[in-house]
Structure 1
Amino acid sequence: MAVTESLAATLRRRSNNHSPVTTGFEALTGYRWHEPTPARLAAGHRLSVVIPAHNVAHCLRYVLDALAVQSVRDAFEVIVVDDASTDETLSIARAHPIVLRLVRIRERAGAATARNVGTALAGADTILYLDADMVLPRHVIADVMVRAAANLALIGFRHNLPYKARQRVQESGMMPDLYADHRARWRPPVGRRLMYSGLVLDRPLDGRPLDHTKDLRDLGFGRGYYDWDLPRMVVTALLAVPREAVLDVGGFDPEFGRLGWGMEDTHLGAKLIASGLLVVPLRQAVGFHLDPPDAEAQWRAKLIGWRHTLAYYRGLLQRPAPTGRTHEFTTHLNTLRAQCEVLR
């Protein structure tokens, strides 16, 4: 009987040399890969923006307002999946004109399931997963649309903004900083075991994961940069992927939502990389991540479940790389959607 290769083994065979993609884009358009793109280049492209939302009344209006003034206003659809919120999240989404589709999951299921529901509803070939607390500059949707392709996972970045400073996003015209994201500039603790790799550093490090890995090209073939590897760079706060590829690998594993916080996006990244996708950063695609009023308490609560989701992810790496899951995914989501409340 043939031995099926594990997901981890498949990742070790995958290169992330995306140079032909970026240089080809620049030669074709005359624009650099990492610069904002004129809206006219997005003509003929379509995009589905999927936003999972649970108790995000403190920030959702800012996020939707930013989408409403994107330079390509009519070229994308916004899908909000409310994950059994108990605050004003649902009413905010229901009242906002930018929201084309709104679905409510009646019982809390987790962000992985909410994104799966949005994926099933999406009408475009490319899905942009956007967190409900991410405010985007006007050019970002066009940047994504013009560069999206069937073999690419495009990652953007986030700049955390304290709750009390959230109004400055619209009032001051300030722009987010790429190097506020840990994937761009990272200063890990010394003498303490790192969360993901388990490494213990004996001296301070001013890490530049994005720079030091040549825009992630050096993270191919299963290689790492201290506490980072290629799947961990795939963060669904701002991630554009081909819908067909997500369906083929079975979407997000909902078990992560039951175990706790984190790793469902890393696992999706691992599956997509194993299927042949290249992970390419967009340095100009940086949004403000708006912290909730109780950010510190929420972070502590998330860390409680981290070891469980990480252990589950490690176990999945030893299983075969999933493929051909479209029918299974669609069948499951059709059943799940029947249990949801469609509001728009």
Structure 2
Amino acid sequence: MHRHVRLREPRQHWALLSLVLAVLVGVLLLQGYVERSWSDLSPAPPEPGGETPPGHKRDGRLLADSEPVVDLSGARPGAAAMPAGTIALTFDDGPDPRWTPQILEVLRRHQARATFFVLGSKVAAHPQLTRQIVAEGHELGSHSYTHPDLSRVPTWQRGLELSLTQKAIAGATGHHTRLLRPPYASVPSAMTAPEYETARALSRDGYLIVLANRDTKDWSGRTPEQIVAAATPRGRQGAVVLVHDSGGDRGATVTAVDHLLTRLDAAGYQFTTVSDGVGLPATSLPATRPQRLAGLTLVGAQLVGHVLAAGLTVALGIAGALTLVRVVLLVGVARLHARRARRARRKWRRQLQQRRRVMRLTFPAVSVVVPAYNEAAGIAATVRSLVAARYPGRVEVIVVDDGSTDGTGHIAARLRLPGVTVIRQANAGKPSALNTGIARARSGILILVDGDTVFEPHTIERLVRSFADPRVGAVSGNTKVGNRRGLLGRWQHIEYVIGFNLDRRMFDVWACMPTVPGAIGAFRRDALASVGGISDDTLAEDTDLTMAICRAGWRVVYEEKARAWTEAPSSLRQLWRQRYRWCYGTLQSMWKHRRALIERGQAGKLGRRGLTYLALFQVALPLLAPAVDVFALYGLVFGEPARVLAVWLGFLLVQVLAGAYALRLDGERLRPLWSLPLQQVVYRQLMYLVVIQSVVTALLGAPLRWHAMRRQGTFARREPLAMP
């Protein structure tokens, strides 16, 4: 039932899409790792001298008499101290965009130099601030990338933390550093045995371990006076002073540093870097060009990750709002449609009772056109169901065999059913087959039916009665999934009932129906003539035709009681091909009829209501909706799993309630709803990818070939009335 044309299907963008997804996943993982670790810094790190962690044994004898600058690479520890009258102010956990500039301003006014032990993740987040630190004559040291306890993480993570920090510093400043202060390190005597062994390993890797003589514990809520007292050495002793320029509110620290510099300047103290104070050789080493490039890549990746995380948050909000708005709209309008439909059916029954004697005049003759391409598995069941229709008027059935190679036309002809005509033509595509059948039809009402569809006995009557209104040019029936026994079939059944049929109820109320499905649709011949018949401009000829009829001024309505059973794809590959063609064809139709947005009357309703709805909820929402799932996974790994799970379950509950209502409106059992959670995890993702690929293909302007769906003969094995 389609044109047997093989065009080259675009595949290059899959490689590009996979690469982009891999990069995005990578930067999100990096950002999540960073964000989770930054949250551990607030309000301040745990006190090194406080409670001993499990498995850690504090032994003050390890470095009890050691000076603060330690080299543990040899058999015996080497150490160095600041000379008398010399202070090395060291700032941990920065750079911070709020507090570090204030610290720099204080140092600048006092013409003092200091050493900043920076977190690589914050260097990557604020490279310009890092460069400012170096440009003003200060020194950089490593404080890891995300501030973990290096003595309690695996060796691979410890190496990753320090390597990433070096890359970030290289990307920001073009240099590496040999100085390292492990997170949570303090004075030498507070070092535990695991911390000592870790420091030895780091020394063997070429790092100089910088501890402190004076730990101000400024993170613990101390006042500026208390911080100054803790930082002031005894007599004329030199010291390495530990303070922080990030990790919480550092207002007291800024004030304390100013007071400390003022007091010790007057006492003749010199403030310098750790390296200059102890006379170390160069601890800042130039990075090679590849190292700088790797660093710039890391800085860029973290920036992209930050922007992406923020973008996901926005996308999550938009997608959530659109989802809720759609559910509210569909359910609310569906209730209105159901009331209108009940009133219309009661009115129809009263008219039948009044016109019982002239009933045959009430029902016009009907022509049913069945375009068929390789439908041998189901064509017999389709034709039999049409001939068996309980319709008082005359029904002719025209089967157009569009160049089938499986004997479809011969099967239909061998049935020898009354009122059935079989026409054979060379393969020219479904629009051509439909136009051929329409040209041979003799009735003013035409029903177009796919070759894999089975009608219920009263379907034709229920379709035709809507044409009592002379404004109606087309009627959409209710398509039901026949092969719904498997999980994939249940998912499609749910989609047809909850998605397609609720949408059609709303489009009917809003008078902007964009699609009469090819499986079951009735048309007034005058309406078809007004648009020039079936066009082959798009891959969704049913959507194109319906939009054209709306723009020609006709109303298109939905009759939920006119049911037809169709065979849905039985594999994910077939489903992908079908939905890809539908989605791409819908995009083509929307673009073709875009002028409806500015037209008046029925065309304007289609444009401003129907096309806007399609653009928001069938294009934009599927493009944004993956953000919900990505953000959920992101939150489960790096955020608050309980909160994320609660939000996801909330959205699922809303969908379940809407689904239950839709199934009830259609007279269906609620049992398939058990598969809805699985549908959200697997099936929905497939539909999102279909929309994404369709949009990418449309933007690239690539051609798309027709895809044949292999039929299983669902209705050849059972009677229509036995269907669920």
TM-score by length of 2: 0.31
Q: Offset of 1:309 from its aligned partner?
A: 2.9
Mean Cα displacement is larger for which, 70-79 or 268-277?
70-79
Deviation at 1:313, TM superposition (A): 1.9
With 142-151 and 301-310 compared, the bigger mean Cα shift is at: 301-310
Show CA shifts across 1:47-93 (max 9, x none): 00011101111111111111222113761100111111110211111
Match of residue 280 from structure 1: 557
| Separation in 1, partners of 2:480, 2:368 | 20
**2:381/2:454 contact within 8 Å kept:** yes
- Provide the C-alpha distance between the structure 2 equivalents of 1:99 and 1:299, rounded to a whole number of angstroms: 34
Structure with higher RCO (Cα < 8 A, 6+ apart): 1
Which of residues 95, 100, 104 in structure 1 aligns to 2:414? 95
Q: Is 1:217 aligned to residue 530 of structure 2?
A: no
Structure 1 residues 88 and 181: alpha-carbon distance in aligned structure 2, compared to 1, 3 A threshold: farther
Task: Quote the offset at 1:45 in angstroms.
Answer: 1.6
**What 5-or-longer segments of structure 1 have no aligned partner?**
1-16, 33-37, 166-176, 188-206, 221-229, 322-344
Q: Distance in 1 between matches of 2:564 and 2:407?
A: 23
Aligned to 2:530: 248
Deviation of the 1:100 alpha carbon: 2.7
Matched, 1:117 2:436: yes
1:271 is aligned, of 527, 541, 548, to: 548
Gaps of 5+ in 2: 1-335, 600-724
Does structure 2 retain, via aligned residues, the 8 Å contact 1:67–1:98?
no
Contact 1:133 1:291 (C-alpha < 8 Å) held by counterparts: no
Give the Å deviation of 1:280: 1.6
Deviation at 1:140, TM superposition (A): 1.1
| Distance (whole Å) between structure 2 residues aligned to residue 132 and residue 41 of structure 1 | 30
Aligned to 1:14: none
Deviation by residue 1:80-123 (Cα, 9 ceiling, x = unmatched)? 111111102111111121453221121x2221111111111110
Deviating more after overlay: 45-54 vs 60-69: 60-69
Residues 16-165 of structure 1: matches in 2 within 5 Å? 26-27=346-347, 29-30=349-350, 41-43=359-361, 44-72=363-391, 75-96=394-415, 97-98=417-418, 100-106=420-426, 108-149=427-468, 150-152=470-472, 153-162=474-483
1:151–1:163 CA distance, 2 compared to 1 (3 A): same
Q: Residues 385 and 457 of structure 2 are in contact (CA less than 8 Å); yes or no, is this contact kept in structure 1?
A: yes
Q: How far is the alpha carbon of 1:132 from its aligned partner?
A: 1.1
* Identity score, percent: 24
Which protein has the bigger helix share? 2
> 1:216 is paired with a residue of what secondary structure?
helix
* Helix, strand or coil at the partner of 2:498: coil
Residue of structure 1 in register with 2:592 after alignment: 316
CA distance in 2 between partners of 1:24 and 1:73 (Å):
20
- Kindly provide the amino acid, as one letter, of the partner of residue 575 in structure 2: W
Work out whether residues 481 and 568 of structure 2, in 8 Å CA contact, stay in contact via their aligned partners in 1: yes
Quickly say closer, same or farther: Cα 1:181–1:134, change in 2 above 3 A.
farther
Q: Which has the higher strand share?
A: 1
1:182–1:72 distance in 2 versus 1, CA, 3 Å: same
CA–CA distance in structure 1, aligned partners of residues 494 and 388 of structure 2: 24
Distance verdict in 2 for CA 1:138–1:255, change over 3 Å: same
| Equivalent residues of 2:511, 2:557 under 8 A apart | no
Alignment partner of 2:518 out of 222, 236, 244: 236
What is the SS of the residue equivalent to 2:499?
A: coil
The answer on whether the counterparts of 1:48 and 1:78 sit within 8 Å (CA) in structure 2 is yes
Does the 8 Å contact 1:159/1:181 carry over to 2? no
Residue 274 and residue 52 in structure 1: after superposition, are their counterparts in 2 closer, same or farther (change >3 A)? same
Once residues 567 and 582 of structure 2 are traced to their aligned partners in structure 1, the CA distance between those partners, rounded to angstroms, is 21
Indicate the residue corresponding to 1:195 in structure 2. none
Structure 1 distance, partners of 2:448, 2:370, is 6
1:164-243 to 2 correspondence within 5 Å? 180=493, 182=495, 184-186=497-499, 208-210=502-504, 213=506, 216-220=508-512, 230-232=513-515, 234-243=516-525
Tell me if the contact between 1:130 and 1:237 (Cα under 8 Å) persists in the aligned partners.
yes
Task: Return 92-101 or 54-63, whichever deviates more.
Answer: 92-101
Contact 2:368 2:446 in 1 (8 A): yes
1:1-32 Cα shifts (integer Å, max 9, x gaps)? xxxxxxxxxxxxxxxx9999996774364279
